[in-house]
Amino acid sequence: MLKTRLIPCIVTKNELVVQSFGFQKYLPIGNVKTAIEFFVNWDVDEIIINDIDATRDGREPNIELVKWAASECFVPLTVGGGIKSIDHIRQLLKAGADKVSINAVLYENLPFIKEASSVFGSQCITVSIDAKFENGEYLVYSYLDQKTIDLDVVEWAKCVEKQGAGEILLNSVNRDGSRLGYDTDLLKIVSDAVSIPVIALGGIGRFDQLAEGVTKGGCQALSAANIFQHVEHSTIAAKSQMKEAGLNVRLSSNVKYEDFELDLLGRPY
């Protein structure tokens, strides 16, 4: 039986880590290298680094940062932001990334997925989908344009799977930074529609909300961003909550996962 992955998502503006709120407001947290150094010392299964302004600012992927991160990471590393070409992917994988996350380029060039997966394998290609519930339906949201696109999220997910995506990173714009938990309705309709893994993202404010991404949303992996930037040793407590909820998770032999108690904010004590 496959284990449920826990994947911190480090949201950056270049090398500055930020907390995101509704894709509109951003709170600076610190340097991306500090965040990576924290996560590699705790119990995570993968790490995602997403430079959300790279494409908008016309920047190419930060290859030197990826080289440094890969030298520090002992878990698979997914990198997103500024990817527009096969050469960008080649450079990132050569620098040490295990996967790439692509998004904006696909709105104008959907076959880019097929081209990339045929060269590098679908296991290297994660497609990031930002979804917003608007006027009674889930639509694809464009961060670059700061508005929804006339694309149904489920149909778009089917399209990227057909083109050769290996997995989908599904983020809820409505829940981003809300601390209300995942939009499990969104997760469920997409995970039911595709056969590739779906990674849940958006809205986690307490660790006991994580498991619903699997139990209600049907996802194969759980990701969060903001919560991991301000709660000490949070990835350990997150795994403890996932285990308590009955999920099959990879556990470090050096960590005791039982007997955690959480305060009102979901912090371990």
Would residue 51 show up in a list of annotated catalytic residues for this protein? no
Fold of 5-244: TIM Barrel (3.20.20)
Q: To the nearest whole number, what is the mean pLDDT of the chain?
A: 89
**Catalytic one among 45, 51, 98, 130?**
130
**What's the one-letter identity of residue 131?**
A
Query: What are the residues whose beta carbons fall under 8 Å from the beta carbon of 194, sequence distance 6 or more?
Result: 157, 158, 161, 168
Residue with tokens 């997150």: 238
Strands 221-224 and 5-13, sheet pairing: parallel
The Cα-based distances of 260 to 106, 227, 268 in angstroms read 43, 17, 6
Chain CA centroid to CA 130, Å:
11
pLDDT digits (tens, 9 = 90+) for 50-89: 999 999 999 999 999 999 999 988 889 999 999 999 999 9
pLDDT digits (tens, 9 = 90+) for 191-223: 999 999 999 999 998 888 999 999 999 999 999
pLDDT digits (tens, 9 = 90+) for 220-250: 999 999 888 755 446 666 777 777 777 877 7
DSSP, res 226:
G
